[in-house]
Amino acid sequence: MDVQYEGEKNREFFNRKIEEYDATHATFMKTKNELCSYLPQDVTKILDLGVGTGLELIEIFKKYPDVDVTVIDISEKMLEKLKQRDFSDRIHIIQGNFFYLDFGDDYDAVISTSALHHFLLKDKLVLYKKIYQALKIGGVFLNADKIVNTDLEEEEAIEYYNLYAHEKPHIDRPLSIHHEEEILKEAGFQNINVFLVDKENYRLIRAYK
Ligand SMILES: C[S@@+](CC[C@H](N)C(=O)[O-])C[C@H]1O[C@@H](n2cnc3c(N)ncnc32)[C@H](O)[C@@H]1O
């Protein structure tokens, strides 16, 4: 199954990249920090998918020191680094593939940064349905990630992936804005907004249950 394969590939890739990860992603901190300002003021319970070393949580714990956060990631090395952060004793850490894990159903917010641009539309729809189920009524899904402008750009990325995936370990397959909105609606979400938060194609999607 594609998601299992992608999950394993991601695990190997991020385990290998751990030493340089935080420095490489320093250029994306604006987006990761900004996600915090889209959280509901009264947020108490958050699920973070693909938390990595926890860069997006730095700002969140500054603003909401008592918030209850559960995180999922497939890479044990990324999670080891997360465990070294000063807020690590305040999070519930789950190692595994988010396509196969049960999320529960009582979150105010499900968040994700830079983690969901490797999955095809059909698989992402399955994930978005799980995220929808994980939220309380009125809860919000915030995804800051690479999302391209057009379906053509999406197709080109998939074509490139199909040509080179066997020799390159990490090729992005971002969906278009139009497809993101379509599958969020199909999963049940409403009041969907897409914000350009930083570099071109790096966007924050906000969608409510
Ligand atoms: C680019 S990093 C983002 C980390 C962090 N959210 C950030 O913004 O710095 C993507 C993370 O998603 C995780 N990941 C990718 N696919 C996954 C899957 N199927 N299940 C769980 N974690 C996954 C990777 O292990 C990696 O730590």
pLDDT digits (tens, 9 = 90+) for 8-43: 888 988 899 899 988 888 888 888 999 999 999 999
Among 123-132, 149-158, 166-175, which stretch is predicted with the lowest mean pLDDT? 166-175
Residue with CA nearest ligand 1 atom 12: 50
Under the banding of pLDDT at 50, 70 and 90, the label for residue 171 is confident
Q: From the CA of 12, how far away is ligand 1's center (Å)?
A: 11
Its domain, for residue 23, covers 2-208
- Give me the chain's average pLDDT, please: 93
Cα 33–Cα 106–Cα 176 angle in degrees, nearest 5: 50
pLDDT at 169: 79
What is the percent of the chain where pLDDT is above 70? 100
Q: Look up the pTM and report it.
A: 0.96
Structural domain total, the chain: 1
Answer whether 114 contacts ligand 1 (Cβ < 6 A).
yes
Residue 1 pLDDT exceeds 60: no
Answer whether 176 contacts ligand 1 (Cβ < 6 A).
no
Answer whether 97 contacts ligand 1 (Cβ < 6 A).
yes
Give the tens place of pLDDT for each residue, 58-92: 999 999 999 999 999 999 999 999 999 999 999 99
- CB-hemisphere CA count at 13 Å for 166? 2
Answer whether 56 contacts ligand 1 (Cβ < 6 A).
yes
CATH of the domain at 109: 3.40.50.150
Answer whether 33 contacts ligand 1 (Cβ < 6 A).
no
Answer for the pair 34, 58: CB distance below 8 angstroms, yes or no. no
Q: From the CA of 115, how far away is ligand 1's center (Å)?
A: 5
Among 2-6, 80-84, 138-142, which stretch is predicted with the lowest mean pLDDT? 2-6
Q: From the CA of 51, how far away is ligand 1's center (Å)?
A: 6
